[in-house]
Chain A
Amino acid sequence: MNTRTDRRLMDLQVDRRSFLGMLAAGAAVVGVPSLLSACGGSSAGPTTGYVAAGADVIPTYVPIEYAKPDFPSVNGSTPGFATLPAELVQSVPTPPGKGTAFTAMTPLWGTIPPKSGNQYYAAVDEMLGSTIDFQITDGNTYGDKLATVLASSRDVPDWVCVPTWNLPPRFGSEIVGNVFQDLTPYLGGDKVKDYPNLANIPTDAWRYCVFNGKLYGLPFPGEILTDAIFYRKDVLDGLGITPDVTSAQDLLDLAVEITDTNAGRWGTEDLWNSAAIIFAVPPKWKLDDAGKLVHRVESEEYRAALEWNASVFAAGVVHPDAVADQSGDAKQRFQSGKTLIANDGLGSWHEALRDNLASNPEFWQQPFAPFAGDGGTPVLFKGNPANIFSFLKKSDDEARIKELLSLADVLAAPFGTTEFDVVNNGVEGVHFTRDDQGMPVPTDLAATELQPTYIFLVDGPIANTRVQYPGYVEASSTWQAAASEFVTEPVFFGQQISEPQQYASIAQPFVDLEKDISRGRKSLSDLDSAIATWKSAGGDELRTFYQDILDKQ
């Protein structure tokens, strides 16, 4: 049930990059919600299926580098910057806007900033040359608002942010073509070179913005790995335990060892997402040896993950509140040391440092190095190349679209540019001051005014730039570089496939079943009957639907 995950998403305070943790949570809802994200309609007119993008659709990739990463990307891992560049470059010399006032709709997991006299808005708008009037909605209920707004194309703002986990049903098949502007004529192929910062966004992220063979979205690029299994290294050090986990059994043994219910300390949170990682459960489909598609719920990996997760619950090492599925408080329990192992998005790492280092300078969470359930070679599935998109409202006014894209070009400026600095840190002296090492220290005003808004519209290539937490960029970058060795692309990677609507809900029983089996309320034989039901309710037809798409590729 994805509402649960949504609750988890909302608990995070989101700012640039930091909400990658949240993205991961979104991405972690693989399975059913991924059905959501690729729904099609069955009534007359809608387009379902997948249309590959022609060469002139995907924008040409022209990389630019303003700062050299201290920890370069390995196999697509997120590059890390451990220091701030000495000189910032203004990547777009003059404000490209024509003074037009645009409206934009974005989510926010935090307190909505004031509009009047907001010096952050003023600073960014000055850089843009146009103004953007934000209609900000609570991220928790953003999906509901989005569904309503999109149902009436007249009321759609000029620029709309759409997180992938909020993609309403029928988005690809019916909405996108009716409501949003086809950007292919503006950005396809070499045309993107008019917007150098947009051309700097990698190809995979663009490909994911293609619906029905046309480019519609502007991406917020995602990381190759979204989730990790974290443990409280500081607490384990205190207990004199140095974890050496190389199999699922090792992890369970460790959880048992560190559980002390009398001290109010349990080993783990609900590790279902971890189980899926450890046992390499495919995000949606996998190919068996004969080249046939096997759905995630039918796979051996899924069964093994469920079985193991059930054994974790049965061992009594899961915190009772997590057993009661109060996943919204998972972070709080983990950070206060009530649980010592938890699954989370990689982006939550520095958020945890931000929230805890002040009160607990020793605080350190560390992800386990990747391992496979049986102790063999781990398999990690690559995350979506973009987890958030934005779309421009359909318009016949070519100049208007071009102006919006030129604003997007400013906002997509990468680390090392003045634009990036202003969008992320605001104005020096107003929103931040510099400490003796030149690191930006946010002021109180930043907390009210500098909320993530522009960043939800478009973003440059991913980079880890959290220089302010000692050791963090290095730890994160090296972990990810090492893990990237095991990363593999799932079938249909980076493709937007619009499914016929009638298959939307057939996998719903599995969301409940995952919780039921994990908590010992149901057994694996219930899984068999659920799979049989799934097949007869349309699962086999869905397989044929995907097989056709696969055969055409």
Chain B
Amino acid sequence: MTASDVKDGARSGAGTPAPPPARTPVVQRKIGWRTRLRRDRSLLIMTLPAVGLLVVFAYIPMLGNVIAWQNYSPYSGFFNSSWAGWSNFERVFSNPLFLNAVGNTLTITAFQLVFFFPVPIVLALLLNSVITPRIRTTIQSIVYLPHFFSWVLVVTLFQQIFGGAGLINQTLRAHGHQGFDLMTNPDTFLLLITMQSVWKDAGWGIIIFLAALSTVSPELYEASAVDGASRWRRMWHITLPALKPVIILLLILRLGDALTVGFEQLILQRGAVGAEVSEVIDTFVYYQGVVYGDWSFAAAAGLVKGVVSLGLVLGANKLAHVFGESGVYKRA
């Protein structure tokens, strides 16, 4: 439901006599903001708790970003820490470790966008084609389950299976074959973490797609089947268009998180493959800020990340509009 839908609903709900089916901005401009305020009052009041939460837990803490321009110390506080100008940002951009972290982050995001993002969609389509409800729920439960495991457990499981002393290697050795070590090879690390992500979260990711699929009217399939559409054509012309808005929405949200890639997952495996391939922006900020107490420097790095992420979301949203989708939000 878009914002204008909501507005229309409110209008009819308020019992305004015969509103024109106008969605055109022209009409909206005619109504003064006071009138609109009065008209939408109850709706606005309903948003207050959410706005309050946002203000307290998102906007006010955001003011703390000021430390990126300070030599901040928690014991001196915001007001007594000295100002540093842009020097923290200069340090961030001239730090080879930060640039390495950015590089790794982007590589991981790009790789996972191609090899992880589509997996839940495919899974959902497959699952949707399973007719027997019992089999379907069983499969669903099994693929959901790993989502509830912590990363520590996931990494340990992988180590027990693929590690140098793991199940596969010991079996190989017992049969006189050379073992391999997936867990400590920096070259295949990208593959490894993607495998882990898929195993852990792909099942969880299908929920939204399944929900979208359930809204597709069976009559459409029946009608097309009557018209002689093949299975493939039904998928192409009915299922995928039905999923498209959800896919685009999730893609945009994912892009907003593009610079956030598995913090725990990477920290846990950092020693195994080395920082050169496993350091990402989040872990960099953690080590600089929390471990070494260089709060201002870490805040500057985090802020850079935040700004880039915002740009990505806005850009992706714009792109969605270009393709005729509503995206995450749209101007009324």
Binding site for B on A (CB under 8 A): 1-4, 35-36, 39, 41-46, 147, 151, 168-170, 174-175, 178, 261-262, 264, 266, 319-321, 323-327, 338, 501-502, 504-505, 508-509, 512, 515-516, 519, 521-522
Contacts and interface: CB of A to CB of B under 8 A. Distances in A.
A42, A46, A321 pick with most chain B CB within 10 angstroms: A321
A261 B172 CA distance: 11
A521 B71 CA distance: 36
Given A42-B71, A264-B170, A324-B159, A508 B292 contact: yes
Contact of B184 (A2, A175, A323, A512): A323
Given A2-B291, A262-B174, A501-B294, A324 B271 contact: yes
Contact of A319 (B71, B165, B293): B165
Nearest to B72: A43
A266 B163 CA distance: 14
A320 to B, nearest CB: 2
A158 to B, nearest CB: 20
A327 B166 CA distance: 16
18 contacts: A1-B271, A4-B271, A36-B293, A42-B71, A43-B72, A44-B76, A44-B82, A168-B293, A170-B73, A174-B73, A319-B165, A320-B181, A326-B272, A505-B287, A505-B291, A505-B294, A508-B287, A516-B275
A3 B272 CA distance: 14
Nearest to B293: A169
Given A1-B270, A501-B73, A321 B292 contact: no
Those 9 A-B pairs whose CB atoms lie nearest each other, nearest first? A320-B164, A325-B271, A169-B293, A505-B292, A512-B275, A324-B272, A174-B75, A504-B292, A320-B165
Contacts, number: 124
Contact of A505 (B81, B159, B275, B288): B288
Interface of B: 71-76, 80-82, 97, 156, 159, 163-166, 169-170, 173-174, 179, 181, 183-184, 186, 267, 269-276, 287-288, 291-294
A176 to B, nearest CB: 10
B275 to A, nearest CB: 4
A43 B292 contact: no
Contact of A43 (B73, B169, B267, B273): B73
B71, B269, B276, B292 pick with most chain A CB within 10 angstroms: B292
A39 B293 contact: yes
A193 B166 CA distance: 60
Contacts of A502: 294
A43 B292 CA distance: 15
A264 B166 CA distance: 10
A2 B293 CA distance: 14
B276 A516 contact: yes
Contact of A519 (B76, B184, B293): B184
Contacts of B169: 320
A310 B271 CA distance: 15
A444 B219 CA distance: 67
B287 A1 contact: yes
B159 A326 contact: yes
Given A324-B271, A519-B274, A504 B293 contact: yes
A338 B165 contact: yes
B274 A266 contact: no
A337 to B, nearest CB: 13
Contact of A324 (B71, B74, B97, B184): B184
Contacts of A168: 293
A47 to B, nearest CB: 12
B294 A504 contact: yes
A459 B165 CA distance: 42
A2 B184 CA distance: 20
Contact of B272 (A35, A39, A41, A325): A325
A301 B97 CA distance: 26
A515 B273 CA distance: 9
A471 B179 CA distance: 42
Nearest to B278: A512
B76 A174 contact: yes
Given A264-B165, A320-B165, A321-B165, A44 B80 contact: yes
Contact of B274 (A174, A320, A516): A516
A122 B181 CA distance: 54
B81 A320 contact: no
A212 to B, nearest CB: 14
A341 to B, nearest CB: 16
Given A36-B291, A151-B74, 12 more contacts: A42-B71, A151-B75, A170-B73, A170-B74, A323-B184, A324-B269, A325-B269, A326-B272, A338-B165, A516-B275, A516-B276, A522-B276
A502 B164 CA distance: 40
Nearest to B75: A174
B292 A36 contact: yes
A46, A320, A504 pick with most chain B CB within 10 angstroms: A320
B158 to A, nearest CB: 10
A428 to B, nearest CB: 41
A397 to B, nearest CB: 24
B177 to A, nearest CB: 12
B294 A266 contact: no
B73, B81, B184, B294 pick with most chain A CB within 10 angstroms: B73
Contact of B75 (A41, A323, A505, A512): A41
A515 B179 CA distance: 22
Contacts of B272: 323-326
B291 A324 contact: no
A319 B72 CA distance: 43
A323 B73 contact: no
A253 to B, nearest CB: 22
A455 B288 CA distance: 33
Contacts of A39: 293
A521 B73 contact: no
A46, A262, A512 pick with most chain B CB within 10 angstroms: A512
A175 B74 CA distance: 10
A262 B172 CA distance: 10
B157 to A, nearest CB: 12
Contacts of B271: 1, 4, 324-325, 327, 515
B283 to A, nearest CB: 10
A502 B71 CA distance: 10
